[in-house]
Chains A and B, each alone.
Chain A
Amino acid sequence: EAQVTQNPRYLITVTGKKLTVTCSQNMNHEYMSWYRQDPGLGLRQIYYSMNVEVTDKGDVPEGYKVSRKEKRNFPLILESPSPNQTSLYFCASSHRLDQPQHFGDGTRLSIL
Chain B
Amino acid sequence: SQQGEEDPQALSIQEGENATMNCSYKTSINNLQWYRQNSGRGLVHLILIRSNEREKHSGRLRVTLDTSKKSSSLLITASRAADTASYFCATDDHDYKLSFGAGTTVTVRA
A and B pair up: yes
| B26 CB to nearest A CB, Å | 14
Stretch at the interface among B11-19, B41-49, B61-69, B75-83: B41-49
Note all chain A residues with C-beta closer than 8 A to B100.
35, 42-44
Q: How far is the CA of A99 from the CA of B45 in the complex (A)?
A: 10
| Number of interface residues, chain B, beta carbon within 8 A | 25
Note all chain A residues with C-beta closer than 8 A to B50.
98
Note all chain A residues with C-beta closer than 8 A to B35.
101, 103
A75-99, CB < 8 A from B: 88, 90, 92, 97-99
| Number of interface residues, chain A, beta carbon within 8 A | 28
* Chain B 27-60: CB-based contact to A (< 8 A → 1; otherwise 0): 0001101010000111111001010000000000
Q: List 5 tightest A-B contacts by C-beta distance, closest first.
A: A100-B45, A103-B42, A42-B102, A43-B100, A103-B43
| B102 CB to nearest A CB, Å | 4
Note all chain A residues with C-beta closer than 8 A to B40.
88, 106, 108
Q: Is A66 an interface residue (CB 8 A)?
A: no
A42–B98 contact, CB under 8 A?
no
* Residue ranges of A at the interface with B (Cβ–Cβ < 8 Å): 4, 33, 35, 40-45, 48, 50, 56, 58-59, 88, 90, 92, 97-106, 108
Note all chain A residues with C-beta closer than 8 A to B1.
45, 58-59
A43–B88 contact, CB under 8 A?
yes
A98–B31 contact, CB under 8 A?
yes
Q: From A4, A50, A90, name the one whose CB has the most chain B CB atoms within 10 angstroms.
A: A90
B92–A98 contact, CB under 8 A?
yes
Q: Is B99 an interface residue (CB 8 A)?
A: yes
CB-nearest residue of chain B to A91: B42
Q: How far is the CA of A102 from the CA of B48 in the complex (A)?
A: 13
Q: Which of A97, A101, A105, A108 contacts B45 (CB 8 A)?
A: A101
A100–B42 contact, CB under 8 A?
no
A41–B92 contact, CB under 8 A?
no
* Chain B 78-107: CB-based contact to A (< 8 A → 1; otherwise 0): 000000000010101000111111110000
